[in-house]
Amino acid sequence: MDAPPVPRPPLRERSAGERSAGQRTAGQWSDVVSAFVRRAPETGVASGGHHNRNHVLPLPEAVARAVSGEAGAQVLVRVRRPDALPVVLRTWEREAAILDAVQQTVPLAPKCLVSGPGFAIHSYVDGVPLSQLCENGKPVSGPVIKALAGLMAQVAQVRREALPSSLPRNVKDGQSFLRMLAHRADRDIRQSNWADYGGLFVALGVSADALIRWAERVPVMARRPYGLLHADLHRDNVIVTCHNDPSSSLASVDWELATYGDPLHDLAIHLVRMKYPDFQWDEVVNAWAEAMRATRPAAVNGLRRDLPHYVAFERAQSVFPDVMRAARSLEESFDQTSLDRATAAVREALAGAAEPLGLADVPGDAVIERILYRWRMSSSRRDVGPRTPIGWEPDPRVPEHPDFPRAAVPHALRAEGAAPANRVFKGTTHLNSVVLVEGVDFPVVVRRKVAEVCRREHSFLSEHAVLRAIERSKAEVAVPRVLALGTGYRDEPFAVHTYAGRWDIDQAPGHPVHGLLPREADALVDQLRALTGVKYKELDPMAGGGRFYSWLSEQLVLLVGDLPGESRQLARSLGLPDAARLREILSRHVVSDREPALLHGDLNPWNLVRRDDSMALTIIDWEMAVVGDPLYDLVRHMHLTPTRSEIRDRMFRRWESVLEPRFTHDWRQDWRVYRDIEIVRSAYIDLDRLVTGAGLEAPNVRRAVDSYPMTLASATAALGLPARSTENPYLALALR
CATH number at residue 541: 3.90.1200.10
Domain boundary residue, one of 379, 403, 426: 379
Task: List CB contacts of 294: < 8 A, sequence separation 6 or more.
Answer: 153
Q: What is the pLDDT of residue 30?
A: 66
Residue range of the domain that includes 29: 16-132
Look at residue 234 and tell me if it is in a domain.
no
Structural contact between residues 130 and 143, judged by C-beta atoms closer than 8 angstroms: no
Residue 49 belongs to a domain with what CATH number? Answer: 3.30.200
Look at residue 456 and tell me if it is in a domain.
yes
Look at residue 59 and tell me if it is in a domain.
yes
- 398 with 483, same domain: the answer is yes
- 406 with 467, same domain: the answer is yes
What is the rounded distance in angstroms from the CA atom of residue 628 to the CA atom of residue 620? 19
What is the rounded distance in angstroms from the CA atom of residue 58 to the CA atom of residue 76? 9
What is the rounded distance in angstroms from the CA atom of residue 348 to the CA atom of residue 112? 36
What is the rounded distance in angstroms from the CA atom of residue 274 to the CA atom of residue 271? 6
- 336 with 397, same domain: the answer is no
- 699 with 555, same domain: the answer is yes
The H or E element containing residue 238 is strand 238-240
* Nearest to 603, CA basis, from 623, 581, 583: 623
* Nearest to 152, CA basis, from 109, 184, 110: 109
- 23 with 116, same domain: the answer is yes
- 375 with 400, same domain: the answer is no
Cβ atoms < 10 Å from Cβ of 660: 10
- 446 with 529, same domain: the answer is no
pTM assigned to the model: 0.88
What is the rounded distance in angstroms from the CA atom of residue 356 to the CA atom of residue 558? 35
- 633 with 730, same domain: the answer is yes
* CA dihedral for 353, 355, 360, 366, sign (positive or negative): positive
- 315 with 403, same domain: the answer is no
**Cα dist from 46 to 57, 58, 414, whole Å:** 9, 13, 37
Look at residue 683 and tell me if it is in a domain.
yes
Look at residue 85 and tell me if it is in a domain.
yes
Look at residue 608 and tell me if it is in a domain.
yes
Q: What is the pLDDT of residue 22?
A: 42
Q: What is the pLDDT of residue 668?
A: 97
Task: List CB contacts of 580: < 8 A, sequence separation 6 or more.
Answer: none
Q: What is the pLDDT of residue 37?
A: 75
User: Count of H helices and E strands in the chain?
Assistant: 27, 20
The H or E element containing residue 282 is helix 281-295
Task: List CB contacts of 253: < 8 A, sequence separation 6 or more.
Answer: 109, 110, 122, 125, 237, 238, 239
The number of domains in the chain is 4
What is the rounded distance in angstroms from the CA atom of residue 180 to the CA atom of residue 515? 37
What is the rounded distance in angstroms from the CA atom of residue 100 to the CA atom of residue 13? 12
**Cα dist from 88 to 11, 253, 341, whole Å:** 31, 17, 22
Domain boundary residue, one of 132, 154, 170: 132
- 361 with 407, same domain: the answer is no
Q: What is the pLDDT of residue 429?
A: 86
DSSP secondary structure code for residue 99 in this structure: H
Look at residue 428 and tell me if it is in a domain.
yes
| The three-state (H, E, C) secondary structure of 319-352, written as one string | HHHHHHHHHHHHHHCCCHHHHHHHHHHHHHHHHH
User: Which is it for strands 119-123 and 52-58: parallel, antiparallel or unpaired?
Assistant: unpaired
| Below-70 pLDDT ranges, the chain | 1-30, 41-48, 168-172, 243-248, 379-388, 451-454, 694-705, 724-736
Task: List CB contacts of 725: < 8 A, sequence separation 6 or more.
Answer: none
Q: How many Cα atoms occupy the beta-carbon half-sphere of 375 within 13 Å?
A: 30
Look at residue 583 and tell me if it is in a domain.
yes
The alpha helices in 474-616, defined as continuous H runs, are 518-531, 548-561, 565-573, 579-586
3-state secondary structure (DSSP) of residue 487: strand
User: Which is it for strands 444-449 and 112-116: parallel, antiparallel or unpaired?
Assistant: unpaired
- 354 with 411, same domain: the answer is no
Domain boundary residue, one of 132, 155, 187: 132
Q: What is the pLDDT of residue 154?
A: 95
What is the rounded distance in angstroms from the CA atom of residue 299 to the CA atom of residue 217? 23
What is the rounded distance in angstroms from the CA atom of residue 331 to the CA atom of residue 318? 21
* Nearest to 481, CA basis, from 496, 493, 459: 496
Cβ atoms < 10 Å from Cβ of 694: 20
- 482 with 612, same domain: the answer is no
User: Which is it for strands 430-435 and 424-426: parallel, antiparallel or unpaired?
Assistant: antiparallel
Burial class of residue 591 (count of CB atoms within 10 Å of its CB; 0-12, 13-18, 19+): buried
Q: How many Cα atoms occupy the beta-carbon half-sphere of 334 within 13 Å?
A: 18
